[in-house]
Every structure is written in structure tokens, then in C-alpha cells.
Amino acid sequence: MDRTRPLRARGLQASAEKAKKFPESSVNENIMRLPIRCAAHRRVLMVGMFLGLLSLVMISLPLIETKTRKPVEWVVDPNHKKLVHEYVHKVLEGPCRPSGTRQSLLTQFPASGHVIQPFLWKDKPLPDDLFLYPPPFGFRGLESKIANLLKLFSAPQPEKTPGKCQRCLVLGNGGILKGLELGSVFDRFDILIRLNSGPLGEFTVDVGNRTSIRMSYPEGTPLHWVDTDPHTLFVAVVYKRVDISWISAMINKLAVPLWDWLFFWQKVPDQIPLEPSRFRLLNPHVIRQTALDLLKYPPPRPRLWGWDQNVPTLGVSALNLASLLCDEVSLAGFGYNLSQQEAPLHYYDHLPMSAMLQEKMHNVDRETQLLQSLVRAGTITDLTGGIHCTFCKS
């Protein structure tokens, strides 16, 4: 016997009586609830689709990378290695030209002549044009977030050692460094600037173990900190709004908000084991000047999708930064020789040079032309000859 029948019958009878008494209100009530339910379902569906797409991208990146990570045979010619070592020693032992690189840049690119400070500080007034463009060219619409971030930075420090002619080395991550064993020579430079997650450890023979500056953005920063140099500075570069929250979390030794993780295109570190005094915030004018004045890119414009290829690589931006910090600037580990597509792209992995053919964000050809002109003019020196080899016999 079904004992629930009387209950269901009473329920149906009550509903029927309510419908008889208030027929219009019952219908209207249901109609009013429909848009709310539909909107809620749409929101849940959109969030689900976004998270699903993000997960698919995150999963596919390692798979794509794995396909290309095959061991690359790379043998260094002993005679070439000897020429490289002789050239680097010659640069280090030659006379240092005070303000040599910066003055040469100003001669070739007069538009880059206005003085800019390399880093931002809380006690230094921020120029209005700093908020003209969005990141990485400026901080448009981010005035309050930047003001709060700058409160975490201590008083300005002198950028250059008075009375000393300093040499900077901007060390790229190119496979051209592999097997040259220049590490101990690189460590002799006054300031050694490393880019993104370029590792040390087993690679110190080729790249040295000192780090004066590690310049990076969240996704490029090592997941596990690799620098043991107690004098290392971390120079944070802002490419998007969420990077500011990440920098603040790193300085304060706090967890990155869960919502912010959705806006990183790959996994980022959850800590950087440096004291707050070892952090610096790169002035966006350094990138803006690199793009507009040195590379002659058009001003940034809003786009719904894709890139204009007007964002300079971190390496060329680091060159401009180095010209503000040092008297002479040298490069090593730069250059993409696409005629050798099976050569190693980086010194620390097995990606082949052909992977650069997929580059969509940066204008590599334009940057190569700029660097070649600077090396030929003597503005900078290319220690490993990947951009323009002044010491090669052929």
C-alpha cells in the first residue's frame, strides 16, 4: 500500500485551490523566476567554459613542449671557443669609457635623450605620462594599485657607484652559451643581469654563479629560486594588471589570491626568498623608450585579440636598463640563428632553434637589426658573437 498517496493528493489539492484563488499571481511568479534561473545558469556555464578552456591550455602547453624537447647534439669548435675567451678577456682588460654606452645611444637615437630613472620609489613623484599607456608601457588605470605597491619599497638607493666606471653584462639564455665555459669570466663583470628563469646549478661552468639582477615577470620567474648571491636584486616587470598583486604578495611573503591565478598563462612562483629591500619595480618608461625610441615601433593601440608585435623582448629592455646603470654594456647569449634550426635554443633545455618560428609576440627581426647596428657602432659589445661577431675569422 502506498502511504504517500494521501500526502500527494493533499498537496495537489492545495496547489489547485491556490491556482483557483490566485491564477495570475502563480503564473507571473513562475515567469519572473525564469530569467533569474536562466541568468544564473548562463553565469555558471560561462565560468565553467572559461575554467575548462584555461585547463585545456595549461595541459596542452607541457604536451607541446614535450614533443620538441628532444636532445640536441651540439659540439663547440675548440678554435672558436679560444677566440671567444680571448675576446672577452680583451673587453674586460681594456679601458672603460665613462657613460660610453648611454652617450652612444643618445647620439644614434636623440629621441631617447630624456632622463629616466630605472626604478620607481615611493618618495619620488611619478610623472603624468607614466599613466598614458597600459602595461607594459605604463600604468594607465592603475594609479591606486601602484601607489599601494610603492609603499612597500624602501628609500631610493644609489644606482651607480660614484667614481667607478662600471661594466654591465646582460646575459641572455641562448644556446650559444652551451659549451663555451665562460662562467668564471662572466662573474668578473661589475653587474651581471640575468633574465627570467635562466638557471645556474649544473650550468655555472657556462653562465657563472653571480647574479646582480634577475629581471623577470611572474610567469618567467624561477619556480624554485636559484640565486645564492646575497647581493641579488629582483627587478619586477609589470606586463598586466595582475602582476602588481603578485609582486605585492612576493614582497609581503603572502599567498597569491586564488582569483589572480586564473590570469597567469602558466604556473608562477608562490614565493621569492629575498628580503623586501632586495626588490625593485622597473620603470615602464624603460620598456616604452625601448619600443618607441630605439626600435621605432608605433605607439600602443587597443586590440581585441592578438598582438601588434610592438612589445620588446626582456633582453632588449634589459639592455636599455643596463645603459642607465653602467658605463659600458656587453651582451652574451643573444642571437637566433634560424639557419641552424636544430641548434639549441636555450643553454638549459633541448628546444631546437626552430621553435622561434612560432614566435608571435615579439618582432625578432627588428630587434636583431637594432642590436647588430649597436654592436657595429661600438655602443655595446657582443661577447659570444650571436648578434654580430667582431672576432670571428669568417
pLDDT by 10s per residue, the chain, length 394: 444 444 344 444 444 444 444 444 443 444 344 343 444 455 544 545 554 444 444 434 343 333 444 555 677 889 999 999 999 999 999 999 999 999 999 999 987 667 689 999 988 889 999 999 999 999 999 999 999 999 998 777 766 777 889 999 999 999 999 999 999 999 999 999 999 999 999 999 999 999 999 999 999 999 999 999 989 999 999 999 999 999 999 999 999 888 888 899 899 999 999 999 999 999 999 999 999 999 999 988 766 555 566 899 999 999 999 999 999 999 999 987 655 666 787 899 887 766 665 666 668 889 999 999 999 999 999 999 999 999 887 6
Q: Assess whether 120 and 245 both reside in one domain.
A: yes
Residue 228 belongs to a domain = yes
Give a three-class secondary structure readout of 283-350.
Answer: CHHHHHHHHHHHCCCCCCCCCCCCCCCCCCCHHHHHHHHHHHHCCEEEEECCCCCCCCCCCECECCCC
Residue 49 belongs to a domain = yes
Q: Assess whether 116 and 224 both reside in one domain.
A: yes
What was the pLDDT predicted at 299?
Answer: 87
The total number of structural domains in the chain stands at 2
CB 236 within 8 A of CB 279: yes
Residues linked to residue 191 through DSSP beta bridges, in sequence order:
168
Q: Assess whether 54 and 188 both reside in one domain.
A: no
Q: Assess whether 171 and 250 both reside in one domain.
A: yes
Q: Which triple of cell numbers denotes residue 25?
A: 499571481
Residue 184 belongs to a domain = yes
Of the residues 27, 60, 93, the one at which a domain ends = 60
Residue 142 belongs to a domain = yes
Q: Assess whether 48 and 128 both reside in one domain.
A: no
Q: Assess whether 46 and 192 both reside in one domain.
A: no
Q: Assess whether 31 and 141 both reside in one domain.
A: no
Residue 4 belongs to a domain = no
10 Å CB burial of residue 371 (0-12, 13-18, 19+) is buried
Question: Which residue range is the domain that position 147 belongs to?
Answer: 77-382
Q: Assess whether 341 and 215 both reside in one domain.
A: yes
Residue 66 belongs to a domain = no
What was the pLDDT predicted at 21?
Answer: 45
Query: If residue 195 lies in a helix (H) or strand (E), which one and from where to where?
Result: strand 191-195
Residue 179 belongs to a domain = yes
Q: What tens digit of pLDDT does each residue of 206-216 get?
A: 999 999 999 99
Q: What SS3 state is found at 136?
A: coil
Which residue reads 681594456 in cell numbers?
94
pTM above 0.95, yes or no: no
Residue 2 belongs to a domain = no
What was the pLDDT predicted at 351?
Answer: 79
Coarse DSSP helix, strand, coil percentages of the chain, rounded to the nearest 5 percent: 45, 10, 45
Q: Assess whether 44 and 191 both reside in one domain.
A: no
Q: How many CA atoms lie within 13 A of 78 on its CB side?
A: 0
Q: Assess whether 33 and 134 both reside in one domain.
A: no
What was the pLDDT predicted at 34?
Answer: 38
CATH of residue 211's domain is 3.90.1480.20
Q: Assess whether 44 and 115 both reside in one domain.
A: no
